[in-house]
Structure 1
Amino acid sequence: MSNALPRIVPAAALLACLAAGFTTTPTYAKPAKAKAAAAATAAAAVATSAAHAKRPAAEAVDPAALRAGLPATVVSALRRANVPLSAASFYVVKVGAPMARASWNAEQPMNPASTMKVVTTFAGLQLLGPDFRWQTSLYADAQPEVDGSVNGNIYLRGRGDPKLVPEEMAKLVSTARRAGASKINGDIVLDRSFFADGFDANGTIDGESTRAYNVNPDALLYSFKTLSFTISPDPASRSVAVSVTPALAQLRVDNRLALTNGRCGDWRTRATPAITPQPDGTVLAAFDGNYAADCGEHVVNLATLSHSDFISGGFVAEWQLAGGTFAHTPGVRSGPVPRNAVLLARHYGEPLGDIVRDINKFSNNVMARQLFLTIGAEIDRGGPASTARSSTVIHKWLQKQGLDLRSLVLDNGSGLSRDERISAYDMARLLQQALASNVGPALIDSLPILGVDGTLRNRLTRANAAGNAYLKTGTLQDVRALAGYVDALNGERYVVVAYINHPNASAAQEAHDALMQWVYRGAP
C-alpha cells in the first residue's frame, strides 16, 4: 500500500480539470476511432448545411418563423435535429432598440438549464456587491498556552464560501499558527448552521451521486467536495503514478495499477478507484488492474465522501502540513460555536466579482447554489439560509427594479433543476437591465467568450463570430440553452436568448451556432 503525496494544484487549475464534471452533461475524451467517426459526422454535417444553404428560403423556413424574424439557417438546423419549432424559443434584440429583431415563443416559460446562473450572479453582484467576501472562522475553547497548546475543542464555522480550497484553508491555518496555536488537545467541532439542514436529503437530478456537478451545498463546503485523481503512465519506469487533490488526512491511496502495452480500451474502469472506509477510521482509494500506456494521463473526479469528512480531513491535513500537531486523533462532530469561544483566525475568501467568473465560465453548479443561498441569508437574516428565503429575496429585488418576471420560477439558482423556468423574453429583459447597471461590466466579464474560454472554448473557434459573443450556456437532458450578448460586425451589441426543450435538444447545437453567426453578421 502506498500513500502518494498529493500534487499541488492551484484553484484555477482545479476548476479547469473539474469543468466537465460541473456541467450537467459531462463529456469525456473519445478514443481514436470515435474521434474519426466524429470528424466524419462533422464533415457530413457541413456538407448537409451547404446543401441546405443553396435551397430557396421559402423551402427552409415556414412562413410563421419567417415573419418572426428567425433566419433560415436556424430553422433548417432545428429541422435536421428533428426539433419542432414549438419546442424552441428565441429572442434577439439590439441593445436600446424598441423592437426585437427575432422573437419566437418568447413569452413561453422554458427550462433554462444553467443560463439560470445569470439571474443568480446578477442578483449576487447587485445585492451583495462585487467586493463581498465569505468568512470562514476558527475558534477555540481557550487561548493558546505559552507552549502553543490549545486546551479544549476547536470550532470551524462556515458561512458558505463557494471556493474554500486548499490554498484558502492554508491561509486560515497560517493565521491560527501566527496567533500562537501549535498543538490541539481537543476535538474538531463543525458549525454548519449558516445553511439550513437537509440539502443532502434532496437527492440528485439524475441519480449520479458521485458526479461533481451533483454536489449539494453546505456552509462548510471544502474543495467542491470532490476528489480529483490524476492517473499518469510512465513508460520509462514501467509504472503508473496516481496523485490526488485535495489532501485529506484520512485518505490513503493503494495503487496497484500495472502498466501494459496495447490499445487503451476502457480506461475509465481501470482509473476509477474503489473507495471504502476502513476500521481504523481511514478511507482507502484502491486502484487495481492493468493500465495501457496508450491511454495517456487522465483525471477522474469523484464526489464520494461527506461534507464533514472533507472539511475535517482537509483541515487536519493543512494543520499538519503547517507544523501543527494533535494531542490525540481528534473526534469530529457538528455543533454551534459557544458564546465564550476564543477567535483564533478568520479568513476572507475571494471577492464575489472573481467568484462569479468561476460560476459562469465553468458553469459550476455547487458554487452557484452556495451564492444563491448566501443571497437569502445575508439580505434576510431571519434564520439559516434556505432556497425559499433566497427565492423571496430575489423576486423582491427584481420587482424594485421594475422587473416583474412572471415566468421566473427559482429552485436552487443553478439551473440544475427540472422545476426552474424563465421565458426568453424575461431573460432578455434581465440581460438588458444588467447591461445598464453598475455591475454590467463584471457580469459580462464572467460569461464564456465564444471560441475562447469557459464552456464556449471549443465552439465556432474558426468562425468570424469567435471572440465576439459573451454567452452563458446551459445543457440538461432534453434542454439546450444560450443567453447573453453578441457584438455584431457593424459594432452593434445584441441581447440573445435561445432555449430548446425537447428530447432531441442535444442534437440541436447547430441551430444555436447558426443563430450566433447570424447575429454577428448584424441579423440581416
Structure 2
Amino acid sequence: MSGSRLARAGWPASAVGLSFALLASAFAWSGSAVSGAMPQRARVAPWIVRVQRLVGDLPISVSVAEDGRLVDAHAGNVPRPPASDEKLLLSMALLDRFGARYRIPTTVEGPRPKDGLVGGNVWLVGHGDPELNDAALARLAGKMGASGIRSVRGSVIGVTNTFTRERSAPGWQPIALKFIALPTALTFDANSGPSGFVFDPERRAAARLTADLGALGVRVSGRARAGRAPAAAQDILATVRSAPLIDILRRQNRDSLNLDAEVLTKLLGAAIYGSPGSIAKGARTMQRWAQHHHVDVVAHDGSGLSHTDKISTNAIVQLLSAASREPWGPALRSTLPAAGQGTLAGRLLGLGVRAKTGTLLKQVSALSGWVWLRRPHRWAEFSILSRGLSKPQAVALENGIVSIISKHVPVAPSR
C-alpha cells in the first residue's frame, strides 16, 4: 500500500508501543511500499513506554514523526478540534500560495489626476493587510502628495466589499465573538478602539487618510465615508504594502491573533476562488491544500475558534513533515513560539521547541510543532490534541510528553 493510501486509510491506534524500527519499516510518507514482514518480537522503545504511561486512558492523541516517518502514535487517527493549531494549517496554505516575502497591498484608486486635481471620489481599498495602521496611512498620503495630487474634488471612501463582512463560522460559540474583531479587507488599528471592537473600520481609515492628506496640504472637499467600490475599474493612485507575510504570521502565531487569522483566511479564499474573499472560501482552500498532501481535514475557519474543525494528530505531523521539505519550511517553524515566548510563556523552558498552542472552552487543548532532538540533533514533528481535560492537566501532559520526546526519540534509519 502506498504512503498516500495509508494516510487516507489512517494509522491504527494500536501503533502505540510499536518500536521505531517496526514503524519505519511499515510506513513511509515518501510513498514507498511496505518493506517486508513485521518482526515477530518488536522491542518497545523506552521513551514510547514513558509516553504511554503518561497518557494512559486519557482522552488525548499524540503523534510524533522524525525524518518524514511516523515514530509513535497514540489515538493518532482520532479527529479532534485543533483549536488555534488551525493557524498552522492556515500558515502552511498561505506560505505555499504567496511565499514568505509577499507583501499585501493597500491602494488608493480613482480618476486619473489632471494638473494635480482628482475630479471625483477616491477609494481606499484594503486587500487583506491585518496590520494596517496610522503610520501606513501616513505613508499612503505622502505618496499621493509626492505624485503631484493637490486636491480631491470628492471624498475618500473606505471600500467595504473586497471581502464579505461575516464575523462567524460554523461551530463558533457565541462567546467566540469576545475574542475577535470584525475581519475586513480594509482593517485599521486591529479594528479596535479605546472602548473595544469597532464595526466601521473602513470609514475610520478613510477619515484618517483624509486628515493625513490635509496635513500635507492636499485638500479633500468631501467628508470621509465607507461604501462599495465602483463597478468600473479605477486608476491606482498610490500603494503601500504590508510587512512581509512571514513577519505577519510570526506575530499571529506567537500571540495567537484571531483577527489576523480570519483576515488572512479571507485573503487566501479570494486568491483561489475570487472576490469577495470569505472565511468559507479560505477554509475550503485549506482543506484542498491538505488533501493535496493526502490528508483529510474538516476546516470551517482559519483561527480555530470553531468547535467543529477536525483533524487528527497523525494528519498534523504529516503536514508538518511535508512543510519541512518545502523551501518555506524553516520560515514557518520560525513563526512559532519558542519555549517561554508568546503563548508558551513559562512553558517548556530549557527545551528546543517551536510549537503552536491551542485552547477552546469545553476543555479543548492543543500543542503542535517541532521539538529539537538532543541525541540526533535535529527537529522532530509532534502533535498533541485533547478534549475533556482541564487546561492545567492538559498543559502538564503536553509539557511532559514534549520533554520525553526531546530526550528519547532515536535516530531514524537512513533510506
Shift of 1:376: 2.2
Amino acid at match of 1:373: K
**Over residues 271-298 of structure 1, what are the superposed CA-to-partner deviations in whole Å (9 max), with x where a residue is unaligned?**
xxxx5xxxxxxxxxxxxxxxxxxxxxxx
- Which of 79, 86, 96 is the matching residue for 1:126? 96
Does residue 190 of the first structure (1) align with residue 158 of the second (2)?
A: yes
2:105 alignment partner AA: Q
Among residues 318, 327, 351, which one is paired with 1:438 in the alignment? 327
2:348 maps to 460
- Secondary structure (helix, strand or coil) at the match of 2:206 reads helix
What CA distance in whole angstroms lies between the structure 2 residues aligned with 1:517 and 1:398?
29
Letter of the 1:480 counterpart: S
Aligned match of 2:279:
387
| Paired letter, 1:190 | G
Asked if residue 469 in structure 1 is aligned to residue 353 in structure 2, the reply is yes
Report Cα offsets for 1:132-174 as digits up to 9, x if no partner. 222211123451644xx54422211121122212222222111
> Aligned partners of 2:96 and 2:263: how far apart in 1?
16
Which amino acid is the alignment partner of residue 206 of structure 2?
A: S
* CA separation of 1:364 and 1:185: change in aligned 2, threshold 3 A: same
2:175 alignment partner, SS class: coil
1:404 aligns to what? 294
| Sequence identity percentage | 24
Deviations 1:47-70 (A, max 9, x none): xxxxxxxxxxxxxxxx99777965
SS for the counterpart of 1:521 is helix
Residues 172, 72 of structure 1: CA spacing in aligned structure 2 closer, same or farther, 3 A cutoff?
Answer: same
State yes or no: 1:364 paired with 2:246.
no
Of 432, 443, 447 in structure 1, the residue corresponding to residue 336 of structure 2 is: 447
Partner of 2:65: 93
> Which residue of 52, 75, 86 maps to 1:116?
86
Structure 1, unaligned runs of 5 or more: 1-62, 79-83, 230-274, 276-301
1:470-523 deviations in Å (ceiling 9; x for gaps): 111111112111111101211142211001111523542111111121112124
Alignment partner, residue 269 of structure 1: none
Matching residue's letter, 1:218: T
Which of residues 417, 421, 433 is equivalent to 2:310?
421
8 Å contact from structure 2 (residues 155, 221) kept in 1: no
Return the match for 1:327 from 221, 233, 237: 221
Q: Give the conservation status (yes or no) of the 8 Å contact 2:156–2:207.
A: no
Offset at 1:90?
0.5
Question: 1:177-197: CA deviations, max 9, x gaps?
Answer: 112234444223232322134
Matched letter for residue 311 of structure 2:
I
Selected match of 1:516 from 402, 410, 415:
402
The DSSP-based 3-state class of the residue aligned with 1:107 is coil
Superposition pairs of residues 200-215 of structure 1, within 5 angstroms: 205-207=173-175, 209=177, 211=178, 213-215=179-181
Contact persistence 2:169–2:300 (CA under 8 A): no
User: Would you say the 8 A contact 2:120–2:153 is kept in 1?
Assistant: yes
The question of 1:222 aligning with 2:192 is answered no
Structure 1 residues 151 and 201: CA distance shift in structure 2, 3 A: farther
- Secondary structure of 1:221's partner? coil
Q: Distance in 2 between matches of 1:327 and 1:202?
A: 44
After superposition, the Cα gap between the structure-2 partners of 1:385 and 1:304, relative to the gap in structure 1 and judged at 3 Å, is: closer
Question: Please, which of 110, 129, 144 is the counterpart of residue 140 of structure 1?
Answer: 110
- Contact 2:210–2:224 (CA under 8 A) maintained in structure 1: no
What one-letter code is carried by the residue in structure 1 that aligns with 2:332? Answer: L
Q: Does 1:479 align with 2:364?
A: yes
Q: Select between 103-112 and 305-314 the one with higher mean Cα deviation.
A: 305-314
Q: Does 1:495 align with 2:384?
A: no
RMSD over aligned CA atoms reads 2.9
The AA in structure 2 aligned to 1:106 is: G
Instruction: Quickly say closer, same or farther: Cα 1:204–1:389, change in 2 above 3 A.
Output: closer
Alpha-carbon offset, residue 85 of structure 1: 3.3
Describe the superposition over 1:256-312 as per-residue Cα deviations: whole angstroms up to 9, x where unpaired.
xxxxxxxxxxxxxxxxxxx5xxxxxxxxxxxxxxxxxxxxxxxxxx21443334323
**Structure 1 residues 412 and 70, CA gap change in structure 2 (3 angstroms):** same
Q: Do 1:141 and 1:340's aligned partners in 2 also have CA atoms closer than 8 Å? A: no
Structure 2 gaps of 5+ residues are 1-13, 19-43, 411-415
Paired with 2:235 and 2:66, the residues of 1 have a C-alpha distance of: 57
CA distance in 1 between counterparts of 2:153 and 2:238 reads 17
Give the letter aligned to residue 437 of structure 1.
Answer: E
With structure 2 as the length reference, what TM-score do the two structures score? 0.79
